A and B are shown apart, each in its own frame.
Chain A
Amino acid sequence: MRSQFNSPIIVLGARFLAPYIMVFGLYVIFHGHYSPGGGFQGGALLAAAILLIRVATGRRVSRLQLKEFATTPLAVIGVVIYFATGLTAMIAGGYFLDYGQLPIPGMDPVWLRYTGILIIEVGVGLAVTAILVMIFDNMVKGEDYA
């Protein structure tokens, strides 16, 4: 992305809008038990907030926000959260992804399943955010060097 917008209106608009989109994305992830939403949708909204800053202000500012090399480890962490949750339940004596067996003391299996769904939603949201930003970064980089 060699050319970037020099208009302060666009930069200001993006700066104004991005935090609210990000908060709404977090709301969609964590409120997915009660309203439509979940990891995929909330992750897409978080990625939209990050990509808005990237498109509007160019590479120098977006480096301060989420560095390009940080996206791949974040995606891997998101997948590993999901897999580790399932594997922990399996080690604790249940089936794979049987959240009722998670070893968290002081909770009955019903609330353990509630918590397990929340944990995997966070993992899915993290992975989706990182992957969407990573796709954008790679396409922009390929455009620059081609």
Chain B
Amino acid sequence: MSDQSTEFTRLPETDEEREDPERATREEVLDFWTERFGVPPETFEGYTFWERGAGKLWLYQGSPPSPVDIEGLGMTFLRTRQEHWKPTLEAVQRFGEHASQNVIHLDEDTARAFVAGEDQELDWDGDWGYLVVTHDLAGEAEPVGVGLYVYGELRSQVPKGRRREV
């Protein structure tokens, strides 16, 4: 992985503009959020998508000339170039409120365990794969992170550095 690269390149809009066949397009990114989580494409209007290293996508409000060689551009957003695309915790906390499917709502104790990084056996009758995990905060459901649901288990995907005993 060339994660050490500091060169961000803007995603091509569509397949016709794509030179590297492995590279995601803006269209595919929007389709992913719609198909997996029901997030409408207009949610991302005004944002640009960038790739740094292989498969690590960033979302930025602004449009510097591509490529741009700097240390950070907005927030990390989506991991592609693997079998199942995986949204970041940051993306889900920021945009997960627009999700209408593959959203699992946890009670307080389960949410605490999730944020501490624990895997938990839970009932879920939806699709296996990456889920938007929510819990109640200040009286409303609030997206807290990404979970991976397989074999009757919700696996916490909270990165080690973000885990907390809340």
Bound together = no
Chain B interface residues (CB < 8 Å from chain A): none
